[in-house]
Structure 1
Amino acid sequence: MTPRSKEELDALAIIDPEVDAKPSSRIPPAVPEVTESTQKYKTRDGAELNLITFQATEPAPGSQPLIIFFHGGGGVVGSASSVAPLARELVKDQGSVVISPQYRLAPEHPFPTGPDDGWDAFEYIVTHISSLGAQIDPSLGLVVGGSSQGAVLASLIALHAKEKTPPLPKITGLYFAAGGFIASPDTIPEKYKHQYLSRTDERCVNAPVLDKETKAMFDMAYNPDMSSPLYRAFNVQPLSRHADVAAKAYFQVCGLDILRDDTLIYASVLQDLGVDVKFDVYEGAPHVFWSVFIWTKLAGRWKDETKRGVKWLLGREDSRL
């Protein structure tokens, strides 16, 4: 992927007029076509946490692919149930099973508890497929993803999973929605360093949803070791180790987001390493706008493109995508 110019990146940060005018917090209700159930998994320190499973109430014959999706919230807020609207859509649209794991949050549970829980949830799920109460076949598709902090966890899980011995079921696709992957500019390949602008662009750092003060507050509560490989994917060096994290990766990029260029650069790096990459860019949109500005046209576009992106990850794409 060709590096983007400063002018192209500047254009992405012009706020969408509809987003500027219409915040919302309404969450759609449950739907009869999707059954939701909760079971427990045990972490390495003995805590019992929730796994919420979303599956078709009347599934088609045969087995279904699996999507493991982690919620966002900076490692400080959020819940496994918050992904329900998207999970329901993916179950209905793809005939897949979606599992949303709970992970513990800072400051009550300091770093690296969250990433450790994320890995423990993933390992439990893929080694207990037969006991999850659904007809799952990971060979039909095993997608791991998340939004914001959930994308961070998914990226770290993928890196660990590829090096795990004995090997676990292969992650076939990664879905990264507005994630943060870079802790230090020093970890960015030279040819992309000029593209790392959103962390200092005044429009991005003062944007709705996640401005610099909010991010600083989250970072203070999360209190990570910022050099740890459990903090950001780019701390896993050399970046050649990121090859083959999955065959495909789908990125969603918010143009008016302090994390925008983390996403664009990681997409480029994975593509350079041979991962098949697709991404959708939402010009003028703040961080995870789809969860706040739910009824905007832009959020409707996000929903449609998410379905197409996950369909592509599962190898069911329309040739016109």
Structure 2
Amino acid sequence: MSHPYDREVAPVIPYLPRVDVADVDGTRAGLAAAASAAPSFEPGPGVRIEARTAPGLDGAPPVDVYVVTPTAPADGPRPALVWLHGGGFVIGDAAESLPFLCRAAQEAGTVGVSVQYRLAPETAFPGAFDDARAALAWVATEAGELGVDAGRIAVGGQSAGGALAAGLALHDRDTGARRVAFQLLDIPVVDDRIDTESMRDYPDALLWHRRNAELSWAGYLAGAPATPYAAPGRATDLRGLPPAFITVNQFDPLRDEGLEYARRLAHADVPTEVHMYAGTFHGSSGVAVSAAVSQRQNSDLCAALARAVTAIAEEAHA
């Protein structure tokens, strides 16, 4: 199926990696080989990256994280962003988010925490969600040691990571913990029902298509019913959630569930901003990095995060 892709995005299409959830092992191996052949990521000046470990919850294994910290002097504790990578719950790793978190550290002044959560199908829900909860709890508990302002912790994620982040915000509200101050949801997965117009319109979309979505949810849920913490689109009450910034790609099967979640947040009086990027496909900002539309998408995410943490600080001192 051909669509009017952005002219700077289109040239990468013939070189896209194979992502087939029906062959998880093969897809993981192919992506790992591609990553090893690419130049290693160098963070550049202005940031420091540390590998750390957060305690698991209730006897679960420890959770590996990367902590990205700006090196410039700060007037006080910094805001934090707990970030969950994409990959349909079955592929991906915390290291792939480091370029974005380094940019966020430089542009928004945040301490970024990239979470290496357990993947399906080896570990079904709530394994990944519990790892995300553990990382959030660790950041809040160790805020002083991390140089973090516990009142300015954002959660965010890309694609399946968006489901984990939105689920964290729901759980944080429901338990009364109130540790999450902002949600940054980049092309999020939020609904296991796979029944939107965009899912029907783009069944064979680039990188992520309907069959991948079906198989990823099957692996993640492992036959269990979906709760709102697994699939936030199923939540019946979105009132009282922290403000949200949501991005969607135009030619993406996941587009409409992101738009619908933004609409429902707005209807629940949650301050919400949503951006759709013309001519893009799922994950195009990560593979067509130099395209102007990709630069806008990533810049908008960092700018929204910077605005949010600044507004929270100003409100606290008002």
TM-score normalized by the length of structure 1: 0.82
* Match runs of 1:268-283 below 5 Å: 268-283=263-278
* Match runs of 1:140-289 below 5 Å: 141-164=152-175, 167-184=176-193, 196-201=196-201, 204-224=202-222, 225-236=224-235, 239-240=236-237, 242-246=238-242, 248-289=243-284
**Residue of structure 2 aligned with 1:114, choices 124, 128, 145:** 128
The alignment covers a number of residue pairs equal to: 285
Query: 1:223: Cα distance to partner?
Result: 4.2
Equivalents in 2 of 1:207, 1:173: separation in Å?
30
Aligned partner of 1:41: which letter? A
Aligned partner of 1:272: which letter? H
Report if aligned partners of 2:194, 2:214 keep a CA contact under 8 Å in 1: no
- The root-mean-square deviation of aligned C-alpha atoms, in Å, is 2.2
Aligned partner of 1:22: which letter? V
Query: 1:128: Cα distance to partner?
Result: 2.4
Equivalents in 1 of 2:12, 2:199: separation in Å?
25
1:34 equivalent in structure 2 = 47
Task: Please list the CA deviations of residues 134-188 of structure 1 after superposition, one character each: whole Å capped at 9, or x if unmatched.
Answer: 321132x221110001110011111111121xx43432211111112223389xx
Aligned partner of 2:241: which letter? V
2:8 equivalent in structure 1 = 18
* 105-114 or 69-78: bigger deviation: 105-114
2:141 equivalent in structure 1 = 127
Equivalents in 1 of 2:164, 2:74: separation in Å?
31
Task: Please list the CA deviations of residues 186-231 of structure 1 after superposition, one character each: whole Å capped at 9, or x if unmatched.
Answer: 9xxxxxxxxx310100xx2222111223334433433443433332
TM-score normalized by the length of structure 2: 0.83
Unaligned runs of 5+ in 1: 1-12, 187-195
Equivalents in 2 of 1:171, 1:230: separation in Å?
15
Q: Would the alpha carbon gap of residues 220 and 160 (structure 1) be closer, same or farther in structure 2, given more than 3 Å must change? A: closer
Report if aligned partners of 2:168, 2:229 keep a CA contact under 8 Å in 1: no
Unaligned runs of 5+ in 2: 16-34, 313-318
Structure with the larger RCO, 1 or 2 (CA within 8 Å, 6+ apart): 1
Query: 1:17: Cα distance to partner?
Result: 3.0
2:27 equivalent in structure 1 = none
1:193 equivalent in structure 2 = none
**Residue of structure 1 aligned with 2:101, choices 72, 87, 103:** 87
**Percent identity (aligned):** 24
1:10 equivalent in structure 2 = none
Report if aligned partners of 2:140, 2:179 keep a CA contact under 8 Å in 1: no
Report if aligned partners of 1:14, 1:256 keep a CA contact under 8 Å in 2: no
Report if aligned partners of 1:126, 1:168 keep a CA contact under 8 Å in 2: no
